[in-house]
Structure 1
Amino acid sequence: MIDDVAKAYLHSCLRDVREAVLWKLDGLGEYDVRRPLTATGTNLLGLVKHLSVWEARYLGEVFGRPFPEPLPRWDDAEAAGSDMWATEQETRADVIDRYRRVWDHSDATITGLALDSPGQVPWWPRPRVTLFAVLVHVLSETNRHAGHADILREQIDGSTGTDAGDTGAQQGAAFWAVTRERIELAARAAGSTET
């Protein structure tokens, strides 16, 4: 019984965070969803592409259920990093639609297997895994990248929150200017005590 509750809870959390990641693209133009916003090139659409590739791999091939579309090989040095950005030929719709197809495939794996079902992750030091371990890993990684998306979106237009209904997160520019100034003053004061 607890396994069913745990699986349902983890699966629900994964579904929620997937939607939050996609919401970060809403209302932005092509340039803004693709442009590199960090020194390493991290961008919103690339995060979605990356999540789709790795979720397909973890909740597909790890359990002998390969995703029916081509994926770059995990051990191909030339393909390394190609999942972190979209080419000009890949449309936003292509990337998002693929992510949603991955969700359907992953959801079928989660629904169809017990939490203690065995899998094999050849790129891990201890490759023998269970659905529970992989589901927790995918949820953790998706949350991690959702945090990246939060920061990227805030850099673009100041939007924060998890969805359009998250109005509590939208405090307004004046509120955030005051908050930022308080934090800056505290940082300067702490920095002035360094020797």
Structure 2
Amino acid sequence: MVVHVNAETPGDERGALLAFLDAERGGIRRALLGLTAEQAGTTPSASELSLSGLLKHVAEVEEGWISRAQGVDPAVRRTEANWDECFRLIEGESVESVLAYWGRVADRTEQFIRSLPTLDATFALPDEPWFPKEDVSMRWVLLRLITEMSRHSGHADIIRESLDGKTAFELVALERGESWG
């Protein structure tokens, strides 16, 4: 279970970064509230993105970055032949199972980041044209994850509003069991 850290704790850079990461994760999770599996798999905009596909993507991306930071080859490998599977649920996967998987990934991220003596420790990235050539810090990977979650949280907002008109604020109220408007 991810610990929700107060981002205002003075001097707790790790806690602040983890809290921002968890806040962005929450936007994606909330976008799925009250939807059927069919609705979650719908692509209502010009793109091919669905909420269930975004969910799977962000869970796998987070696991990939934390695995790299730990010096472990990421468990999920995509090739050109199956890249689209990163953005859609396949046989045996459900929104619930991917949410549970992402919960485990989030716990692993929290434990790993909390175990580090410093966020200044570095690791090398694969030799790909889209990655920096120099080693990056653990701080960098947290910022990278926050950026990734923020981007896709915005996508999730648009998709959800396109499905049933519910906005992020309405979903926060729904999550809290409060009425909106």
TM-score, normalised relative to structure 2? 0.81
Alignment of 1:128-167 (within 5 A): 128-161=135-168, 163-165=171-173
Contact 1:46–1:85 (Cα < 8 Å) also in 2:
yes
Counterpart of 1:53 in structure 2 is 60
Contact 1:46–1:84 (Cα < 8 Å) also in 2:
yes
Shift of 1:56: 0.4
Alignment of 1:25-174 (within 5 A): 25-65=32-72, 70-73=75-78, 76-113=79-116, 114-122=118-126, 123=128, 124-161=131-168, 163-165=171-173, 171=181
Q: Cα RMSD over matched residues?
A: 2.5
Contact 1:115–1:130 (Cα < 8 Å) also in 2:
yes
Contact 1:63–1:120 (Cα < 8 Å) also in 2:
no
Equivalent AA in structure 1 for residue 154 of structure 2: G
Contact 1:49–1:84 (Cα < 8 Å) also in 2:
yes
Counterpart of 2:4 in structure 1 is none
* Identity score, percent: 26
Distance 1:88 1:40, change over 3 A: farther
Equivalent AA in structure 2 for residue 84 of structure 1: F
Aligned residues: 166
**Uncovered stretches (5+) of structure 2, i.e. residues with no partner:** 1-8
Q: Tell me: higher relative CO, structure 1 or 2? Use CA pairs within 8 A at least 6 residues apart.
A: 2
**Counterpart Cα distance in 1 of 2:46 and 2:165:** 20
More helix by share: 1
Shift of 1:87: 2.0
Shift of 1:15: 1.1
**Counterpart Cα distance in 2 of 1:65 and 1:12:** 25
Contact 2:21–2:149 (Cα < 8 Å) also in 1:
yes
Shift of 1:105: 1.1
Shift of 1:65: 4.7
**Counterpart Cα distance in 2 of 1:43 and 1:17:** 17
Q: Which moved more, 1:96-105 or 1:56-65?
A: 56-65
**Uncovered stretches (5+) of structure 1, i.e. residues with no partner:** 172-195
Distance 1:17 1:90, change over 3 A: same
Equivalent AA in structure 2 for residue 93 of structure 1: E
